[in-house]
A = this chain, B = another copy of it.
Amino acid sequence: MKSGKIYIIGIGPGGREHITPAALRAVEESDVIVGYTLYLDLIRDLINNKEVLSTGMTKELERCGMLMDFAVKGKTASMICSGDPGIYAMAGPVLEVLKGNSVEYIFSGDSGAGALKGSAIEVEIIPGVPALAACASRIGAPLMHDFASISLSDRLTPMSVIEKRLHAAAGADFVIVIYNPRSRGRAEHLKKAVNIILEYRPGKTPVGIVKGATRPDEKVLITSLGDVPFTLVDMQSTVIVGNSNTFTWGNTIITPRGYERKYDFTSVGPDEDPKK
Any B CB within 8 A of the CB of A92: yes
List the number of copies, as a whole number: 2
| Chain A positions 240 through 276: 1 when the CB is less than 8 Å from some CB of chain B, otherwise 0 | 0000000001111011111111111110111011110
Q: Is the CB of A165 within 8 A of B172?
A: yes
Closest to A254 in B: B95
CB distance from A78 to the nearest CB of B (A): 14
Asked, given contacts A91-B140, A96-B259, A138-B109, whether A146 binds B130 with beta carbons under 8 Å apart, the answer is no
Q: Which residue of B lies closest to A216 (CB)?
A: B111
Whether a CB of chain B sits under 8 angstroms from the CB of A191 is no
Whether A203 is near chain B, meaning CB under 8 Å from some CB there, is no
Please state if A268 and B20 are interface contacts (CB–CB under 8 Å).
no
- List the one stretch of A10-18, A36-44, A230-238 in contact with chain B: A10-18
Write out the residue numbers on chain B whose beta carbons fall within 8 Å of the beta carbon of A272. Answer: 62, 65
Residues in B whose Cβ lies below 8 Å from that of A264: 100
Cβ of A87: which chain B residues have Cβ within 8 Å of it?
Answer: 133, 136, 143-144
A214 at the interface (CB under 8 A from B): yes
When distances are taken between beta carbons in the complex, the residues of chain B under 8 Å from A91 are: 136-137, 140-141, 144
Which of B58, B96, B140, B263 meets A275, CB within 8 Å?
Answer: B58
Minimum CB–CB distance for A47 against chain B, Å: 18
Q: List 7 A-B contacts (CB under 8 A).
A: A18-B22, A92-B144, A93-B259, A99-B254, A156-B257, A165-B174, A167-B172
Interface positions of A (Cβ within 8 A of B)? 10, 12-13, 15-22, 25, 53, 58-62, 64-66, 69, 84-89, 91-97, 99-101, 104-107, 109-111, 125-130, 133-134, 136-138, 140-151, 155-157, 161-162, 164-165, 167-169, 171-174, 213-214, 216, 218, 220, 249-252, 254-266, 268-270, 272-275
